[in-house]
Each structure stands twice: as structure tokens, then as C-alpha cells.
Amino acid sequence: MKRIAFILMLLASPLWALDPKEMLEDAALEARARAIDHELRCVVCQSESVASSNANWAEDARRTVRELITDGSTDAEIMDFFVARYGEFVLMSPRVSGSNWLLWAAGPLMLLLAAGVGVGYLRGRAGTPAPQEAALSEAEEARLREILKE
Amino acid sequence: MITEFGHFALILAFIVAIVQMIVPLVGAQKRWPAWMAIAEPAASAQFLLTAFAFGALMYAFITSDFSLRLVTLNSHSAKPMLYKISGTWGNHEGSMLLWVLIVTLFGAMAAWFGGNLPPTLRARVLAVQSAIAVAFFAFILFTSNPFLRLAVPPFDGQDLNPLLQDPGLAFHPPFLYLGYVGLSMTFSFAVGALIEGRVDAAWGRWVRPWTLAAWVFLTIGIALGSWWAYYELGWGGFWFWDPVENASFMPWLLAAALLHSAIVVEKREALKSWTILLAILAFGFSLIGTFIVRSGLLTSVHAFANDPERGVFILMIMAFFMGGALVLFAFRAGAMEAKGVFSVVSRESALVANNLLLAVSCFVVFVGTMWPLVAEMFFDRKLSVGPPFFNMAFSPFMLVLGLILPIGSAMPWKRAGIMRSLRPLRYVFVLAFAIAGLAYAMQSGRSLLGPIGMFLAAWIVAGTIVDLAQRTGRGSGRWARLMRLPRADWGKMVAHSGLGITMMGVSGLMAWQHEDIRVAQFGEPFDVGGYTLTLNDVVNSEGPNYLSTTGFITLAQNGRVLAELEPEKRIYPVAQMPTTEAAIDYDLARDVYVVIGDQQAGGGWAVRTYIKPLTNWIWIGSALMALGGFLSLSDRRFRVAAGARKTMAVPAE
């Protein structure tokens, strides 16, 4: 049993995110590479970035990023390189282009809309002259008072 | 045999639920007391039957009854007992059973403690709650029955996903479900009130404890999940903006909003229709969460049942309850007129702003989560939305929320003066600004994130303390008055401080984290961010159902040994899955987080080290939020309203 388990262990030898042997010598370039790793999605995993994934694909992607950096590509060129091969899906944060402006603008637009409605409501409340007469029967009012009493 | 009893009990509970869904509703309409009275014993019976069914399933897991399909798929005889038990809900079928068990539990609690409710409202609330239970009983029995047997039982099971074999995750789902499903109770109250056609202060008071309880459980569940991700996934992330995490976060945001707007309903009889709408939507987002996790519609690490048939069933449940409730809302919302009048500058307005921010931030999370789907369906673009988007689009709302929190909570009801409310806070502002300035001066980078987090934390925590102190008035006896303040006031202070502290932890971690990856040789010390680490040894060993490789690392600072760390990586042979068990030296100022990697060809082992400043405050803050919720929940006024029978004492006035 122990032997089988050990063989299994060798077979399943876990790769993990970013191995020292993948890293670049130059600390500044490596820092750039890691920043890019976080912006790229591992396309064979489920919602993991290239930086944190253990998959072989992510390992290859990390290596490619470092090769491109060593060859002198800019960050934008590296992103384009991946988008050209794997589509926009590979980007962790979608580009602000075409229909995507809707995504980016959704929050601010909704806030404006909500703030408009909210201010309208508050103005309305402030302008209401007096409370309407109670919609509760007398017995219910008494019960309400009893409940609300501390 | 017990399994068959459990199966039978589940079917019986389904039938009882159908009765409870229809009879009390008719009774409430026709004012037939006997018909309405059925709801109470039915709710108890439903709960007991479901509890029995759940117990039977748990028994099958504990005794490793591999003739049960579910047990075979998700358990193993060598698994530790805790995980045999937690395996009951560590899978789709079992977790649905837990879900419906909690639905019936809340129904039964409403029946037991709802003696104070008007009989018609109680009957309607219980009927609606039962309708939810009916839908999920049907879902379980028709699409995901946990009690199916295997014709030929195997010798041993296929083991639970090793990532789930962890104490943090064993209790994460029950808490999360208590939260999700707790919102079903507020939903039932909202729909009950809509059918009734009346929402008043008493309704606000009845619904608040349920919302509060749901919110507290959600807080605990989310915090446990994030803590688990932090120490288990091997690189110390605590939040990934994964669709399933978002699915639990959206109801949390809406429950927080609901909590605050229900206060306005209770104290000021305003914001009624908005509160009802929020109650409906909050539960709607719970259902969306269930749908996302179980349909496989969105890719996620957590999704465990990628079955379109189940997805369609849940979608139908969701369409029925949301559609029904919203149609009802459209017809009845007009009938709920606000009574309270207040000026534009007042606590009411501050709470409206709170609701706006929470609801819109929830909307942002929702849009971000669903966008990949929308983009693919309508624009033919296959894309993904990840953490960078959410960090950028979501955080500003929390920033503004944190800024207005102390001001709003210091404002009086009805009419406030801006300057009057701000004056007591001027020292708080100076203090917070000084702390932020200090953080800015001390940090190495030029990032504003860290100082902003420190500012918000100091601003909120000190602001709420000043607010509490203000309530004690002037002169002597302030201390005694402070102690006599209602628990709800203390709860508010504790929970708000918790929010500030969590913000500090999150921004501290994100701004000042330090990462180091290297090949470590035995006995050769290396420095990371002011600490010295030495890899002493690496040992292979065998656990109950896994094989482990453990590194022994000494952590020291300035020649003084701080801790012996034992990072571990495991392989679960049955599930064929590796996991990392990071070793963490916990400290309030920072965590040192060490992960052991592979043996290197040229000798030595790969070691990853992270210095994670202020991380523990994320969970301390969450714990404070939950504690604050419990404090409020224990307030006498709630217990009275929740139905603790009033003694007939003559009030001494």
C-alpha cells in the first residue's frame, strides 16, 4: 500500500504557482512579470489567475510572459499577444471598449439614477405637510403601543 | 433501514409542507381560525421530519454505508470522523437537504416565537415559508435525491474533495445557509405583509431580528470561507471575486441595507415599500446564489453540480418566487404610505444614503458577475471579469460608505444640522488624518490604499465610540448611563467598528504585502522583509488518508527565534489531489505565511514566503460585526417583539 501510495505521489507531484526556476534574474523585470501574471486568467482553470494557478497551462503562460519580457516587449504588447491567441477571456479585467463600457459605467450610472430617485423622495418627504390619519383601528393602535413599549 | 425511514420522513415532510402552504393561507383569507391554526403544528412537524431525514443521512455518512450512492461518491472509511459528518453537506444533495432543513427550522421558529404576531399575518408568513420549503422538497425528491441506493455497493468510497477536509470549511456551509435561508424568513414576512396589505412599525420590529440573524450568519459564513481560502489555497488570498463568493456577498450587502431600512420602518414609518422590495430582492439574490453554484452557468471553483436539469429547476423556483412577489409588490406597494416626515438632513436621509450605496454596490457586483454571460449572449464577446475590475468598481462605494458612516449615525431623527453633527467628530477627523499621515510617511511605496484604509478605520472606530459617549449626556453618572444603554446601541457600535477594522485589514494586506519566492538550502538562512528564515529539514510522512511532505523552518527576527513553522503539502491518493497546508505565524501586526514547494533538481527546496500585514484584522473585524449583530439581537426590545410572552405585571408608571 505504502509503495503504491508513493508511486502515486510521484505521479501527482504537485506543481505550484511560480517555481523559483521560472523566475527572472532581474528583480525589476520579475516584478513586472508578476504584475502581468495577476492580470491574466488561467484559461484551463476556474477563476484563477496565471499567478496563483498550478496548472501546466499557467506554468507555460508564466514562462511565455517572462520570455516576452526578456525579449523587450512592453506590458501592452504581452497582453495583446495573449488576447490574440486566447481571446479577451484571458484578461482578468475586461477592456473598456465597445460594449464593455456598459459594464464599467453600470455602477456610476446606477448611482446617479438611484441618487436622483433618493433625493426626489427625500424632498418629497420633507415637503409633506402633516402625517395622514392613522390607518389602524383603535384596538390595533393599542396593541402596537404595547408591542413598541420597551 | 434507517435510510429508508429518512427517505420516508422526507416525503412526509413534503406532504406536510404542501398542506401548510395552502390551508393557513385560505384560513387567513376567510378568517377561519381553525384553518389558520394548522400552520403552527405543521411547521413543527415539518421541521422534525426534515431533521429526522437529515439525521438519517448523517448516520449513513458516519457509519460509512457505501450502499448509499451519495456516501460512496463523497466519503471514505479512512476519513476522520469530523469530515465524515461534514461530508453530509459537502456535496450537492446533502447540502440541499441542509438548505431545506434550515428553511423548515426558520419556519418552526417563526411558529414557536411568533405568538405576538396578528394571527392572519402569522398564518400567511408560515404559508409562504412553507411554499419555499415545498419548492425545495420537490427539487430534492425529483432531481437530487440523497437517499438513492446502489445495486452493488463498493468496498470503499471515493473520498471527499480534500480541499473540503478542513475544520474551517466543515462549518462554512451551515453558517452560510443559515444566512441565505434566514433571508427566506424576511421574504415570507414581506410577502405576508403584501398579502395583508399593511406594513407598520410593528412589522418593522418583527422583521428586524430575522434579518439581523440572517446577516450575522452570513457574516460568519463568509468570514469562515475567506479565512479558509487564506490558509488553505496556498498563496494567502482571502477574496477572489469568484462568482460563488459574489453570490454570497450580494445577499450580505442587501441584508445589511435591509437591516438599516427596517430601522426606518420601525422608528419612523417611512421607506416601507423600499424595505419590502429589499426583503424580496435579498432572498432573490440568495436564490441566484444557489442557482449559480448548482447550474454550472458560470465557471467557478466552488460549483459542484454542473447539471443543466437542476439549473432549470432552480431557475423555475426563482422565477416563481421572484415573479410572484414582484407582481404582488407592484399591486400593493401603493397602499403602503409613509407616515413619518423628516427633513433632507436627518438620520433618515443618512440611512437612505446607506441603502443607496449598499444597493448600488450590490448591483455593481451583480453586473460584474453576470457580465461574461451577457457579453457572450448579446455581444458575442467571450470575456471574463476578475478581481481588478471589482477592486476598482466596488471599492469606491465602500470608501464613501465608510466616510459617511460616523456622520450619519451621529445624526438625530427627523431633523439634524450638518454642523451640529460634525462638531463632535472634529477630533476624530484630526486623529484619523494623523494616523493616515503616519502610515503614508512610514510606508515605502507611494500607494494611497494603505493610508486610506487606516484613515477609514480610525474614523469609523473612533467616530462610533464618540457617538456612544454622546448618548450618555453630560455631568456625573455618565458611566452608569453608558452601561444602561440598550444592547442595540452597543451592538451598533461594535458592528460598525468591526466594519472599520475589516477595511483596515483588507487595505493593509493589499497595500503592504511582501512576497518572496526562492530555493532554500538546508541550514542556510535567508531574509524576507526583516525576518530570517532557515529551512532545517524536510520529512515525508503519512496521515490518516493522505501522504505528507513537511518542511521544518525556523522563523527569527534580529537573532530571536519567533516560531518553528511546519508548512506541509499533502496528497490524497484516493481523490488524487494535492493540497498545500501553509504554515502561518499569526500576529496582530502581520502574518508570516510560508509554503513549501517542490524539491529542486540542483538541491534544496522551493519555499514561498509572504509577509502579510494586518491580515488578522480582517477576521477580527468580521467577528466584531457578528458580535455586534448578536448584541443587538439580544436586546430586550427584540425579545419582547419576537414573542417572549409578556408577564401580566402592572406597569409601574
Q: Tell me the pLDDT band of B140, cut-offs 50, 70 and 90.
A: very high
The minimal CB distance from B517 to the residues A8, A20, A136 is found for: A20
Which residue of chain A is at minimal alpha-carbon distance from B271? Answer: A121
What is the reported pLDDT for A95?
82
C-beta neighbour count of B421 within 10 angstroms: 21
Q: Is the pLDDT of residue B323 over 80?
A: yes
- Grouping H, G, I as helix, E, B as strand and the rest as coil, residue B551 is strand
Q: What percent of chain B has pLDDT over 90?
A: 41
DSSP designation for B466: H
Which residue of chain A is at minimal alpha-carbon distance from B486? Answer: A150
Q: Is B202 on the interface with A (CB under 8 A)?
A: yes
* b/e B20-32 (16+ beta carbons within 10 angstroms → b): bbbbbbebbeeee
The minimal CB distance from B341 to the residues A23, A87, A125 is found for: A125
What is the reported pLDDT for B416?
75
What is the reported pLDDT for B519?
87
Q: Is B643 on the interface with A (CB under 8 A)?
A: no
Cell output for B220: 460568519
Q: Tell me the pLDDT band of B58, cut-offs 50, 70 and 90.
A: very high
B395: number of CA atoms within 13 Å, CB side? 16
Cβ within 8 Å, pair A114-B573: no
Q: Tell me the pLDDT band of B228, cut-offs 50, 70 and 90.
A: confident
pLDDT digits (tens, 9 = 90+) for B8-25: 999 999 999 999 999 999
CB pairs under 8 A between A and B: 193
Probe site for chain A from B76, B113, B156, B200 (most A CB atoms < 10 A) = B200
Cβ within 8 Å, pair A126-B341: yes
Average pLDDT over residues B179-202: 90
pLDDT digits (tens, 9 = 90+) for A104-146: 888 889 999 998 988 888 887 776 655 444 456 667 777 777 7
Cell output for B610: 509572504
Q: Tell me the pLDDT band of B307, cut-offs 50, 70 and 90.
A: low
Question: Residues 13 to 72 of B: which have CB under 8 A from any A CB?
Answer: none
Checking ipTM against 0.85, whether it exceeds it is no
Q: Is the pLDDT of residue B393 over 60?
A: yes
Of the ranges A109-118, B196-205, B575-584, the best mean pLDDT one:
A109-118
What is the reported pLDDT for B158?
79
Question: Which residues in chain B are contacts of A118 at CB distance < 8 A?
Answer: 352-353, 356
Cβ within 8 Å, pair B392-A93: yes
Cβ within 8 Å, pair A107-B364: yes
- Judge contact between B360 and A111, C-beta under 8 A: yes
The one-letter amino acid at B137 = F
Which residue of chain B is at minimal alpha-carbon distance from A92? Answer: B386
Which residue of chain A is at minimal alpha-carbon distance from B579? Answer: A14
Q: What percent of chain A has pLDDT over 90?
A: 5
pTM: 0.88
The one-letter amino acid at B211 = T
Q: Is A111 on the interface with B (CB under 8 A)?
A: yes
Q: Which distant-in-sequence residues (6+ apart) come within 8 Å of B577 by Cβ?
A: A12, B161, B162, B163, B571
Q: Is A74 on the interface with B (CB under 8 A)?
A: no
Q: Chain A closest CA to B49's CA: distance in Å?
A: 33
Give dist(CA B570, CA B232) in Å, integer. 11
Give dist(CA B243, CA B363) in Å, integer. 14
pLDDT digits (tens, 9 = 90+) for B588-643: 989 999 988 888 887 888 888 999 999 999 999 999 999 999 999 888 666 554 44
Q: Is A35 on the interface with B (CB under 8 A)?
A: no
Probe site for chain B from A44, A90, A147 (most B CB atoms < 10 A) = A147
Q: What angle do CA B543, B547, B552 make, to 5 degrees?
A: 85
Which residue of chain B is at minimal alpha-carbon distance from A31? Answer: B515
Q: Is the pLDDT of residue B305 over 70?
A: no
Cβ within 8 Å, pair B577-A20: no
Count of helix runs (H) and strand runs (E) in chain B: 22, 10
Q: Is the pLDDT of residue B357 over 80?
A: yes
The minimal CB distance from A41 to the residues B349, B375, B386 is found for: B386
Q: Is the pLDDT of residue B390 over 50?
A: yes
Q: Is B340 on the interface with A (CB under 8 A)?
A: yes
